[in-house]
A and B are shown apart, each in its own frame.
Chain A
Amino acid sequence: MARRAEPLIRVAGGAAGGLLAALTLGTLAAVAANATGVARLDPADLAALRFTLVQAGLSALLSVALAVPVARALARRSFPGRGVLVALMGAPFILPVIVAILGLLAIFGRGGMVNAALGALGLPGVTIYGFWGVILGNVFFNLPLAVRLILQGWLAIPAERFRLAAALGFGPREVARLIERPMLRAVAPGACLAIFLICLTSFAIALTLGGGPAATTIELSIYQAFRFDFDLGRAALLAGLQFGLCAIATLVALKLTLPEAALAGLDRPVRRWDADALALRALDAVAIGLAGLFLVLPLLAVALSGAAALPGLPAEVWTAALRSLAVALASAAICAVVALALGLARSRGVGRWLDLAGMLPLAASPLVLGTGLFILIDPVADPAALALPVTALVNALLALPFAMRALLPALQQIEATQGRLADSLDLPALARLRLVTLPRLRRPLGFTLGLAAALSMGDLGVITLFAGSDGATLPLEIYRLMGAYRMAEADGAALLLLILSLALFWIFDRGGRVNAEA
């Protein structure tokens, strides 16, 4: 297959991979190069490492396991409000962490709805703080992501297969075994990997919900090394450890991933004859209902506490919102281009190392990445002047692993089903992209753009290290408000962020599905 890849695609894929490596490993090297002395791990680091691995692994497995029934239900049911629900469910992931945690606490916290209900019934309360609170928090953040990635896998199955299955008299069991499970083997390990890496490099959720220093992750140690000890060597060592874990996890996930046996489809709408039974309908209703409640109630809490302050937000919040919108759009465009370059190269069999490169941004410590970039940029340009472009670029790369998960299966399928015909016609690269690839890529590309835009909107990113006195983005403005007692206004700004992110996702995702029902 490799022989078929045009030089253009090879070059583009290599450039995209190189960019990723430079921004992740290169920034790490920049930090390490500025270190003085040799760093070593201490026993507390090993405890942190163990905790990090256990919580990340368990969170990833649980998120994906719970996402399967929800994604299946969403894939085979259509009901009014389904699109809105899918969009809403993605919201936890795009909110600033502390805002989402406060939403979660409004439901599961000490003074939350669940405990109020238990108290009213005369039952003892439950506490969210502790190991399982960390897992609950991680699942809350990542379940939506898992649902969306797996849902993309389901939607990528051509309608003809279900048609054929129905013609052959397949029941739900056979459909699951012959169509759905192979798809899951292709999609689930990647989703698992992505969530594992997200949980690997976060610390605010674990610390805040973990109830104490037992819930210390490696990222917190990096934070500490930077801020109080200014031990760059130690920060670089710990960040390197995270990359090592990323490499191992990626290899494991690749081993578990089954390449999908692609069959051609005519891009018709899907009808599921196998899932009409009442019991299955009830099952799906329960899955959607529970997931919906779990994900939407905390968001509702965020929305309710923000609604009052929304109209009276200070002017700088609105300008920050505009700035964030611009960054989000730029970020989505960069992300789509890089993902397409990587995806095309991979689908034509170029460079397996690109798979690893595509996951690197998730394993990068945000603090090390930002600091490394700062070290590299500071001698040549004013970081404050480049704050927004750099933020857009970094956000784009952070969204890339998800973009790849969405685009690559679709690209591989297009390659497997249409590639030979395109080859035999000797289509030039750009014509092939325009005529063959892009039309079939509309749905995952719309999803990718929407997700990247929404993620960028909510990501604090590297802006904290780069922003001058003005030029703050909306998430930074939320932190500034919270840092100055202005909780009510921060709630209002968080609601604004939520609305804008959801709108961005919805518009792009919709755009990708125009004509889908025709």
Chain B
Amino acid sequence: MKALIAAGLIALASTAAQAETPTLTVYTYDSFVASWGPGPAVKKAFEPICHCHLNFVATGDGAALLSRVKLEGKHTKADVVLGLDTSLTADAAATGLFADHGPLPKLDLPIKWTDPVFVPFDYGWFAFVYDKTKVKDVPKSFPELAKTNLKVVIEDPRSSTPGLGLLYWVKDVYGDKAGEIWKSLKHNILTVTPSWDAAYGMFTKGEADMVLSYTTSPAYHLIEEKDATKGAALFTKGNYMEVEVAAKLKSSKHQKLADEFLSFMTTDAFQKIIPETNWMYPVIKLKDGLPKGFDEYHPTKTLFLAPEKAKALRDSALAEWRDALSR
């Protein structure tokens, strides 16, 4: 076995030495690299510009992505990590593995972006998505939802980033009263799933009236399935925002190329791929505007906790959530 591994290593090393064009390795989440995701189009657009190979490595979801980088530490093969979200960036920054980014172009984000390390590449708002043919009185707040008998599926904040986003959403709006809000929602919560895909699957199969997803989910059904029956509930006190980011590793041997990639990420060539492959909003104004359906559910107010603040609140908010729903 050892001899086999050694032989493999030698083979790998020799092919790497022969290659003249440099390879930029980008760790990302699974759905980014699928043929229907942004990955293939990004690769096609970037490789002719950089004269390099762009190698995406899929590592599961966003949280798994960060674990992977922490596991590999300074020896990571990643040059760039793409796909962390703002509920994870405080943890990621604390590792000290990531380098500051260069100057950014003018961004079109609902908040002012000041993070020196992480570069945003898309964003979206969490929302309860529903079937318009079934849900007529759409609740406009958590207390209104609690007054209905609507059944919702949510994701577990301990295993899923949308679940964590919902936790921060309630905490941000209701502060010390968040626990009471969760208690009042208990009869609405059909179940808690480990991940977004399970929750959304249950919703599409008609098991639940609403599911915690994104304001852009209806646009997917409209564009890909020509199905205009899905809606996203906008809450009067606002919807919580998630920003997805990328950053360069300090340990990368291709610092210049990594910078080039991060710059490319905020150009029209990259950003125009995002809406209809990742189903999120681009972070700059696109030359050709947004696809149809993306304007339909625009929250009146954006809720957002700064990553450091979110991190500090996490454990107590989790305990509150668990206690309220465990009864």
Of listed A213, A230, A470, residue having the most chain B CB within 10 A:
A213
Whether the Cβ atoms of A214 and B326 lie closer than 8 Å is: yes
**C-alpha gap A379/B74 in the complex (Å):** 12
On chain B, the residues within 8 Å of A208 by CB distance are 191-194, 198
Q: With an 8 A cutoff between CB atoms, is B9 at the interface?
A: yes
**C-alpha gap A209/B202 in the complex (Å):** 11
Q: With an 8 A cutoff between CB atoms, is A273 at the interface?
A: no
Whether the Cβ atoms of B192 and A213 lie closer than 8 Å is: yes
Contact residues, A155-210 vs B (CB, 8 A)? 203-204, 207-210
Residue in chain B with minimal CB distance to A97: B198
Chain A 224-247, CB-CB to B under 8 Å as 1, else 0, gives 101110100000000000000000
Whether the Cβ atoms of B63 and A487 lie closer than 8 Å is: no
Selected contact of A485 from candidates B151, B207, B220, CB within 8 Å: B220
Q: With an 8 A cutoff between CB atoms, is B109 at the interface?
A: no
Selected contact of B202 from candidates A102, A226, A385, A480, CB within 8 Å: A102
Chain A 18-59, CB-CB to B under 8 Å as 1, else 0, gives 000000000000000010000000001001000000000000
Whether the Cβ atoms of A484 and B194 lie closer than 8 Å is: no
Contact residues, B5-52 vs A (CB, 8 A)? 5, 8-9, 12, 30-31, 33-37, 39
On chain B, the residues within 8 Å of A129 by CB distance are 190-191
On chain B, the residues within 8 Å of A212 by CB distance are 186, 189, 191-192, 325-326
**C-alpha gap A469/B33 in the complex (Å):** 6
Q: With an 8 A cutoff between CB atoms, is B156 at the interface?
A: yes
| Smallest CB separation, B79 vs chain A (Å) | 14
Residue in chain A with minimal CB distance to B35: A316
| Smallest CB separation, A39 vs chain B (Å) | 15
Q: Given A230-B67, A371-B71, A485-B220, are A105 and B202 also a contact pair (CB < 8 Å)? A: yes
Whether the Cβ atoms of A211 and B190 lie closer than 8 Å is: yes
Whether the Cβ atoms of B194 and A110 lie closer than 8 Å is: no
Whether the Cβ atoms of B5 and A105 lie closer than 8 Å is: no
The B interface is mostly helix, strand or loop, or mixed, namely: helix
| Smallest CB separation, B191 vs chain A (Å) | 5
Selected contact of A483 from candidates B9, B31, B56, B68, CB within 8 Å: B31
Residue in chain A with minimal CB distance to B277: A484
On chain A, the residues within 8 Å of B151 by CB distance are 110
**C-alpha gap A213/B191 in the complex (Å):** 9
Selected contact of A381 from candidates B8, B30, B194, CB within 8 Å: B8
On chain B, the residues within 8 Å of A484 by CB distance are 31, 34, 36-37
Whether the Cβ atoms of B57 and A469 lie closer than 8 Å is: yes
Selected contact of B31 from candidates A101, A111, A480, A487, CB within 8 Å: A480
The A interface is mostly helix, strand or loop, or mixed, namely: helix
**C-alpha gap A316/B39 in the complex (Å):** 14
Whether the Cβ atoms of A110 and B207 lie closer than 8 Å is: yes
Number of interface residues of A (CB under 8 A): 61
Contact residues, B190-231 vs A (CB, 8 A)? 190-198, 200-202, 204-208, 217, 220-221, 224
| Smallest CB separation, B211 vs chain A (Å) | 12
| Smallest CB separation, A463 vs chain B (Å) | 10
Of listed B151, B195, B224, residue having the most chain A CB within 10 A:
B195
Residue in chain A with minimal CB distance to B40: A469
On chain B, the residues within 8 Å of A381 by CB distance are 5, 8-9, 12
Chain B 101-136, CB-CB to A under 8 Å as 1, else 0, gives 000000000000000000000000000000000000
Residue in chain B with minimal CB distance to A110: B207
Whether the Cβ atoms of A213 and B325 lie closer than 8 Å is: yes
Q: With an 8 A cutoff between CB atoms, is B72 at the interface?
A: yes
Q: With an 8 A cutoff between CB atoms, is A374 at the interface?
A: yes
Chain B 137-160, CB-CB to A under 8 Å as 1, else 0, gives 000000000000001000010110
Whether the Cβ atoms of A220 and B194 lie closer than 8 Å is: yes
Whether the Cβ atoms of A111 and B55 lie closer than 8 Å is: no
Selected contact of B201 from candidates A102, A209, A316, A469, CB within 8 Å: A102
Whether the Cβ atoms of B325 and A214 lie closer than 8 Å is: yes
Residue in chain B with minimal CB distance to A103: B205
| Smallest CB separation, A246 vs chain B (Å) | 23
Whether the Cβ atoms of A213 and B36 lie closer than 8 Å is: no
On chain A, the residues within 8 Å of B68 by CB distance are 465
On chain A, the residues within 8 Å of B204 by CB distance are 487
Q: Given A204-B198, A207-B192, A220-B159, are A375 and B71 also a contact pair (CB < 8 Å)? A: yes
Q: With an 8 A cutoff between CB atoms, is A223 at the interface?
A: yes
Whether the Cβ atoms of B158 and A485 lie closer than 8 Å is: no
Q: With an 8 A cutoff between CB atoms, is B91 at the interface?
A: yes
Of listed B8, B71, B91, B190, residue having the most chain A CB within 10 A:
B71
Whether the Cβ atoms of B321 and A213 lie closer than 8 Å is: yes
Q: Given A211-B190, A212-B191, are A378 and B72 also a contact pair (CB < 8 Å)? A: yes
On chain A, the residues within 8 Å of B221 by CB distance are 485
| Smallest CB separation, A461 vs chain B (Å) | 13
Selected contact of A467 from candidates B58, B66, B208, B314, CB within 8 Å: B58
Q: Given A226-B67, A469-B55, A483-B31, are A204 and B9 also a contact pair (CB < 8 Å)? A: no
**C-alpha gap A295/B214 in the complex (Å):** 35
Whether the Cβ atoms of A110 and B190 lie closer than 8 Å is: yes
Q: Given A314-B35, A380-B5, A485-B224, are A211 and B192 also a contact pair (CB < 8 Å)? A: yes
**C-alpha gap A92/B217 in the complex (Å):** 30
| Smallest CB separation, B304 vs chain A (Å) | 19
| Smallest CB separation, A315 vs chain B (Å) | 8
Q: With an 8 A cutoff between CB atoms, is A486 at the interface?
A: yes
Top 10 nearest A-B pairs (CB, nearest first) are A482-B197, A227-B63, A224-B158, A469-B56, A469-B33, A214-B326, A483-B31, A212-B325, A111-B206, A483-B197
| Chain B contact residues, CB within 8 Å of chain A | 5, 8-9, 12, 30-31, 33-37, 39, 55-61, 63-64, 66-68, 70-72, 75, 91, 151, 156, 158-159, 164, 186, 189-198, 200-202, 204-208, 217, 220-221, 224, 279, 314, 321-322, 325-327
6 CB-based A-B contacts, threshold 8 Å: A102-B205, A208-B191, A211-B190, A213-B322, A465-B68, A482-B198
